[in-house]
């Protein structure tokens, strides 16, 4: 690091370098004050000024009680999401966007109880939630841009009365905190389709055909039962996906 700068500036520039190199991605948490103190052998004041400087330069945002997170500074504002990540799913759509500096908003289009249940095919396997289930159709926005058209089907046997719970917490958190369900696995597949501007499935209000990702997913609890089935559309001009590989153990 350049010793001609004050120590907190040196640390700020070192972390910005990690962001520019891709070691720290939009939405990633920047090391905390205590972690900076330990790594750089500095005082509390210097650590705090380092984080403040990164934020002042527009590279990060602080979320009270959570930490400091890398902002999305890409010109096209693509959002990267990781398939197969329970951590990302637990954090939820809105929190993940806030970490990247977006203002999230959700609009409920439909909330209906289906007595017959629901089924889906993911990766060549058939998964079922026996009725009743609640269907929740939401439109998810970032800075007033519709990013995700999301439909979730949740088991009312495993999560009774969840259809009348009003909360801003992610449903994943509700499963764990309210219903004491231990989430053990997720199955997800990703496909693509072109939505025409006049298609009944197109809520994105575009004047030209729009490429979208279709995410089909299922969340399982420790009993092996399916808690939730999801079918969501992500606009293809705003999203990128990464994948967590789970190598087989022989």
Q: Same structural domain for residues 25 and 148?
A: no
**N residues, the chain:** 250
Indicate the pLDDT class of residue 250, thresholds 50, 70 and 90: very low
- Beta carbons of 188 and 216 less than 8 angstroms apart: yes
pLDDT tens per residue across span 17-52 = 998 888 888 888 999 999 999 999 999 999 999 999
Cα 133 to Cα 112: distance, rounded to the nearest angstrom = 8
Span 128-136, average pLDDT:
96
Is 248 domain-assigned? no
For residue 217, give the nearest of 114, 110, 83, 112 by alpha carbon: 83
pLDDT at res. 244: 67
In a domain, 2, yes or no: no
Smallest CA-to-CA distance from 140 within 93, 95, 101 is with 93
Same domain, 122 and 59: no
Q: Which positions ≥6 away from 81 have C-beta within 8 Å? A: 88, 96, 234, 239, 240, 241, 242
| 84 and 131 belong to one structural domain | yes
Token pair, residue 128, equals: 């079922």
The CA distance from 48 to 65, in Å, is 15
* pLDDT of 138 above 80: yes
Q: At what angle do helices 7-21 and 44-56 cross, to 10 degrees?
A: 50
State phi, psi for 199 to the nearest 5 degrees.
-65, 140
| 170 and 83 in a common domain | yes
Same domain, 118 and 29: no
| pLDDT at residue 246, rounded to an integer | 56
Domain closes at, from 20, 43, 70: 70
Rounded Cα distance between 126 and 45, Å, is 56
Residues 62, 85, single domain; the answer is no
> What is the number of structural domains in the chain?
2
* pLDDT score, position 220: 95
Query: Where is the domain boundary, 39, 70, 101?
Result: 70
Residue 1 covered by a domain: no
One domain for residues 44 and 98: no
The answer, yes or no, to whether residue 180 has pLDDT greater than 80, is: yes
Kindly state whether residue 155 falls inside one of the protein's structural domains: yes
Tally the C-alpha atoms within 13 A of residue 126's C-alpha that lie toward its C-beta: 3
- Express each pLDDT in 198-231 by its tens digit: 888 899 988 899 999 999 999 999 999 999 999 9
- Please state the pTM of the whole predicted model: 0.77
Check whether residue 30 and residue 101 sit in a common domain. Answer: no
- Name the residue range of residue 150's domain: 79-243
DSSP 152-217: EEEETTTSTTGGG---SS-HHHHHHHTS---EEEEEEEEEEEEEPTT-TT--S--SS-EEEEEEEE
The CA distance from 110 to 214, in Å, is 19
Interatomic CA distance for residues 115 and 86, integer angstroms: 28
In the predicted structure, residue 145 carries a pLDDT above the cut 80: yes
Average pLDDT, the chain: 89
Which CATH number do you get for residue 234? 3.40.1410.10
């Amino acid at each position: 690091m350049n010793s001609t700068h004050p120590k907190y500036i040196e640390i700020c520039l070192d972390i910005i370098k990690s962001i520019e190199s891709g070691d720290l991605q939009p939405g990633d948490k920047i090391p905390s004050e205590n972690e900076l103190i330990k790594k750089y052998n500095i005082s509390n004041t210097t650590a705090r000024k380092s984080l403040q400087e990164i934020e002042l330069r527009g590279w990060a945002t602080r979320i009270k009680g959570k930490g400091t997170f890398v902002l999305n500074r890409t010109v096209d504002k693509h959002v990267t999401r990781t398939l197969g990540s329970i951590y990302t799913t637990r954090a939820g759509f809105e929190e993940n966007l806030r970490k990247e500096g977006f203002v999230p908003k959700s609009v409920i289009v439909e909330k209906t109880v289906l007595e017959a249940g629901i089924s889906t095919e993911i990766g060549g396997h058939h998964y079922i939630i026996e009725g009743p289930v609640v269907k929740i159709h939401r439109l998810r926005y970032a800075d007033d841009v519709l990013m995700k058209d999301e439909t979730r089907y949740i088991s009312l046997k495993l999560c009774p009365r969840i259809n009348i719970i009003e909360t801003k917490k992610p449903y994943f958190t509700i499963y764990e905190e309210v219903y004491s369900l231990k989430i053990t696995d997720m199955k997800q597949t990703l496909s693509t389709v072109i939505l025409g501007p006049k298609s009944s499935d197109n809520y994105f209000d575009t004047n030209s055909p729009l490429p979208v990702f279709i995410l089909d997913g299922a969340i399982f609890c420790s009993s092996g039962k399916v808690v939730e089935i999801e079918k969501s559309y992500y606009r293809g001009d705003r999203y990128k996906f990464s994948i967590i590989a789970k190598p087989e153990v022989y």
